[in-house]
Chains A and B, each alone.
Chain A
Amino acid sequence: QQQVKQSPQSLIVQKGGISIINCAYENTAFDYFPWYQQFPGKGPALLIAIRPDVSEKKEGRFTISFNKSAKQFSLHIMDSQPGDSATYFCAARTGGGADGLTFGKGTHLIIQP
């Protein structure tokens, strides 16, 4: 059972455009929703994260929108740059920190110059 569904699988965006990646979850016990960026051959790096009591969080060019009733959250990358080309994973966690993360399947993002 896939607990976190991520879409699209791949995405091509022109430089300067907005990249949008969506995730949906099923487990209402999830209490923490991070987004990670991963480059080939490297471990994932935390981009931004949100808790379910907040509907939006912005850090620089990255924004998370969270819809608790729909059990969905999304990542928006504003003014997308070629250096943003990477694989992005949404994730979720239960247990207040004692549990590991459940990851979505990932989105391969390509920013065209």
Chain B
Amino acid sequence: GAVVSQHPSWVICKSGTSVKIECRSLDFQATTMFWYRQFPKQSLMLMATSNEGSKATYEQGVEKDKFLINHASLTLSTLTVTSAHPEDSSFYICSARARDRVGDGYTFGSGTRLTVV
């Protein structure tokens, strides 16, 4: 089945630094990648949608200059949290849809726990 590998699984960084999270589709070409954010015991909130080779579309209230998304290839998308602050601490999850995929499935990564100290 379709697999999305997300790394790192957890990261601790100092306030003011930047952190990059990677998502790779291992056995399919991800035409569209979605990035979600989840606070403890809360739901997943869509942050942005990216299509390969084009700029990401951000949801209302999400700072595009703070959360940089790159989807340069059909198998790799990255989320960079720039100048991270403690309030950016959260669980970040990517999700991919495949090109020409039959059905409606979205494949999720295993998530990245970001802690900013």
Contacts and interface: CB of A to CB of B under 8 A. Distances in A.
Interface of A: 32, 34, 36, 41-46, 49, 51, 89, 93, 97-106, 108
Contact of B46 (A36, A49, A101): A101
A43 B108 contact: yes
Contacts of B6: 43
Contact of B111 (A42, A49, A89, A105): A42
A12 B32 CA distance: 37
Nearest to A2: B43
A101 B43 contact: no
Nearest to B59: A100
Interface residues of B, number: 23
Contacts of A46: 105-106
Interface in B22-62: 32, 34, 36, 41-46, 49
A43 B93 contact: yes
A100 B111 CA distance: 16
Contact of B43 (A41, A43, A93, A106): A106
B71 to A, nearest CB: 14
Contact of B108 (A44, A93, A98, A104): A44
B82 interface: no
Nearest to B103: A49
B43 A97 contact: no
